[in-house]
């Protein structure tokens, strides 16, 4: 049986550890690489031990050349600043790429789309199947509920999450904007502090909380006169993101070069 040889970028992070455990349990995949930043304290350690399972015989390294040479496919949940270099290396080694890193700038996304002409890349702010169903129905609701319904998007994550709003919250905002055929940047309310101007029709509000060990809570509220409709999703463990990423990788493997998302994986497009 031929296994998909999988490498994990950001191997010692919260998601990296969950991915290592998930790959080890998958009968179609073989873990062949674990990559980290050159200053990471886990360099040289067994990836399985770092992920709190039995040793897997794969050491965490920072040598990108060695890492990408060994991989058929890569899953990356590291950090936005490393994405372009990592995907460039993957392109040079013909590796399929699943990117779950958030906080990407628009220019970075454009570069990733260019690189997708060489390899298949699946990019999603959130790999959870449930979240992507929520994104799908948020867009459909935005098509049906006009600007008489105010939209508010709320998210909460653990104390260590740096980017705000979360990539998933922004993706939900994009779903609303797409459904209403409008521009998210022009409609976004970015801050509320002190005395604010009256809310304009069609504006999309965001609110953010950080604290504790919350993995990820998201709510989209369509608030009209006399009623409010909400779509919500709460993550209770990171396995949902890891399992979604593996589902995406199995779908992406052997696909032609191109830029894909979880809607493609789930057949929602």
Residue 112 φ/ψ, nearest 5 degrees: -65, -40
CA distance 91 to 235: 32
pLDDT at position 136: 95
**Contact between residue 22 and residue 242 where contact means Cβ atoms under 8 Å apart:** yes
According to DSSP, residue 158 is labeled: -
Domains and CATH numbers, the chain: 4-123+238-266 (3.40.50.720), 129-235 (3.30.360.10)
Determine whether 157 is an active site residue: yes
Average pLDDT of span 114-123: 97
Query: pLDDT by residue (tens digit) across 172-182?
Result: 999 999 999 99
Q: What pLDDT sits at residue 83?
A: 94
Band the pLDDT of 46: cuts 50, 70, 90. Answer: very high
d(CA 29, CA 26) in angstroms, rounded, equals 6
> Choosing from 161, 187, 218, 233, which is the catalytic residue?
161
Tokens 């890193």 -> residue? 101
Mean pLDDT estimate for the chain: 95
Q: How far is residue 99 CA from its own chain's centroid?
A: 7
Q: Which of 17, 157, 218, 233 is catalytic?
A: 157
| Cβ count within 10 A of residue 54 | 10
Question: pTM for this structure?
Answer: 0.83
Residue range 3-14, pLDDT digits in tens:
999 999 999 999
First-to-last CA distance in the chain? Answer: 32
Query: Does the annotation count 161 as an active-site position?
Result: yes
């Amino acid at each position: 049986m031929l296994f998909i040889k999988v490498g994990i970028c950001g191997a010692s992070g919260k998601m990296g550890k969950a991915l290592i455990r998930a790959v080890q349990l998958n009968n179609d995949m073989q873990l062949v690489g674990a990559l980290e930043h050159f200053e990471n304290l886990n360099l040289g350690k067994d990836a399985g031990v770092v992920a709190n399972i039995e040793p897997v015989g794969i050491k965490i390294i920072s040598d990108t050349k060695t890492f990408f040479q060994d991989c058929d496919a890569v899953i990356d949940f590291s950090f936005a600043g490393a994405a372009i270099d990592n995907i460039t290396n993957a392109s040079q080694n013909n590796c399929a790429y699943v990117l779950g890193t958030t906080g990407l700038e628009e220019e970075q996304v454009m570069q990733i789309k260019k690189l997708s002409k060489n390899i298949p890349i699946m990019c999603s702010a959130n790999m959870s199947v449930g979240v992507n169903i929520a994104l799908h129905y948020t867009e459909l609701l935005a098509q049906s509920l006009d600007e008489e319904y105010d939209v508010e998007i709320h998210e909460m994550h653990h104390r260590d999450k740096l980017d705000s709003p979360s990539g998933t919250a922004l993706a939900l905002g994009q779903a609303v904007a797409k459904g209403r055929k409008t521009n998210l940047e022009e409609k976004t309310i970015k801050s509320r502090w002190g005395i604010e101007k009256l809310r304009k029709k069609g504006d999309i509000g965001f609110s953010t909380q950080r604290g504790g060990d919350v993995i990820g809570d998201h709510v989209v509220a369509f608030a009209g006169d006399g009623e409010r409709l909400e779509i919500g999703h709460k993550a209770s463990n990171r396995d949902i993101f890891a399992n979604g990423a593996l589902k995406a990788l199995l779908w992406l493997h052997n696909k032609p070069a191109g830029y894909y998302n979880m809607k493609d994986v789930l057949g929602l497009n």
